[in-house]
Amino acid sequence: MPVAPSLVKIIFVFCIQHVSTTDVIDRKTDPSILEDAALNTFNLIRKYGYPCEIHHAVTHDGYVLEMHRIPYGRKNTTKDGRPVVFLQHGLLSSSAEWVLMSPEKGFAYLLADAGYDVWMGNARGNTYSRGHISLTTASSDYWKFSWHEIGYYDIPAMIDYTIYVTKVPKIQYIAFSQGTTVFWVMTSSKPEYNDKILAMHALAPIAYVGHMRSPLVKAIAPLTTGLHKIIQLLGPDEFLPNGKINELAGQRLCLEESYTQVLCKNLLFLICGFDTEQLNNTMLPVVLGHTPAGASTRQFVHFGQLYNSDKFTNFDHGWIVNKYTYGTFTPPAYNLSAIRTPIFLHYADNDWLSTPKDVDRLLHEVKTVVGKFKVPLQKFNHLDFVFANDAKSLLYDRIMSIMSGFL
C-alpha cells in the first residue's frame, strides 16, 4: 500500500525524538501476553472463563457482520431477564478492544459481571466482518464505503438482530470514537432507531472535528480535497489491514524488553495524544496484535473532509457525483435534531481526536444530551477510553451507575 513520504517522515522524526532509555524494561514478557495477542475475540473471552457466542447479521447491501456476545458473567451467572447492552468499537478496531484488558479492567467483562447481556458489534471490513453475499475483499467494490454506510446499514442490522434474539424492546448502546459517529448517522438518518435505544453513552464522541489536534490526521486532511489524489496516495481499498505487520509488531517490536517498543507507543500517541502513565506497557503486544483491524480508505477520507469543512456532513464524492447522489453539488449535513435518544457524553482534556471544543459543539446540536462528563485526569487521552490502567475507576464505574437508572 503506498504511503505518503511526508507522513512517513513525520512518524519517523517524531519517534526518534522521543526514544529514551527509560522506555526499556528489561524483564521477560509473560507468555500469556503473547497468547492474548494471537487469540481472536471469541477464544480470548473463553480463555478468561466467560461464555461467548458468535452471531452474524446481514445488512441490506449484502455485508455479513460478525458479533460477539457474552450472555452472562463469570461472577454473575444469572441468565434470564438480563438487560442488554450493545458495544461498538472505534476506527481501525474491532470487538476485541472491549476485552483486550484483564477481566478486572475490560469494559465488556465488567458489564457482564454487573448483570448485563453484552453484545459487541464489528463494522464491515474489519477482522471479523469481511464477508459479503456476492463480493470479496479482493474487489474494490467491496471497499467503496465510509463510516456513513456503517451507520446507515451495519449498526441498524446488528441492533435489529440483537433485539430479535434477546426479545427485549430496547437496549443500551455504548460506543467509542467512530462508534459514536455511526450512531449519529443512524439516529439522524433513520429516526425510528431512536425508539430502540434506552440510552447512549458516547466515549470520546466524534461528529465535529474542526479542532482535532492529531498531527497524522491533520497531515492527511488537506489531501482529501481531491478524492482521486488521496485514494491514489493511501490505496483505493483497505487502510492498514491487520496482517504480518501487526504480527511482527506484537511479537517482536512491542515487547517490554524490546528497544523498539517506544516506536509503538509514540505511533499511537502521534495519532491520539500522550499519556504514558495510563498506558500499560505489558499490554502493548496484545493491543498491537488486534489493532489495526482493518478499515476502508474512505473512512479516513470522510473524517478528513469533516476536518476541512468543519461540518458534519455526508461523504463528498465530488460535485458531479454529489448532484447525482444527493441532488445537490455539496454533501448534505446530518440532521442531528432528529436524534431523540437520551445521550451521555464522556470526554477528556487531552484527547487529540475528540476535543473539548468539538464535544461542546455536539452538545449544543444534539438536543437530547442529558449529561456531559469530563474524565477527571488531565492527561487522559483518546485510547485511554478503552486501554487505560484506571479506566474502571475514572470512567466505567460512573457509566454503569448511570446505566442502572435505565433498568
Measure Cα distances from 58 to 7, 21, 52, 129, 136 in Å. Answer: 37, 50, 20, 10, 15
Position 127, amino acid = T
Question: Is 177 a residue of the active site?
Answer: yes
The residue from 68, 89, 201, 382 that is catalytic is 382
* 334 secondary structure, DSSP code: P
Question: Among 379, 313, 369, 312, which Cα is nearest to 346's?
Answer: 369
C-alpha cell at 315: 461523504
Question: Is 6 a residue of the active site?
Answer: no
Looking only at the bridges linking them, the beta strands covering 171-176 and 84-88 are parallel
The residue from 93, 94, 129, 177 that is catalytic is 177
CA angle 224, 178, 162 (to 5 degrees): 140
The continuous run of DSSP H or E covering 407 comes out as none
Q: Tell the residue number behind the cell numbers 504511503, with chain if given.
A: 3
- DSSP characters for 22-34? GG---SPPPHHHH
C-alpha cell at 338: 432528529
CB 343 within 8 A of CB 370: yes
Residues annotated as catalytic (active site), given as ranges: 177, 382
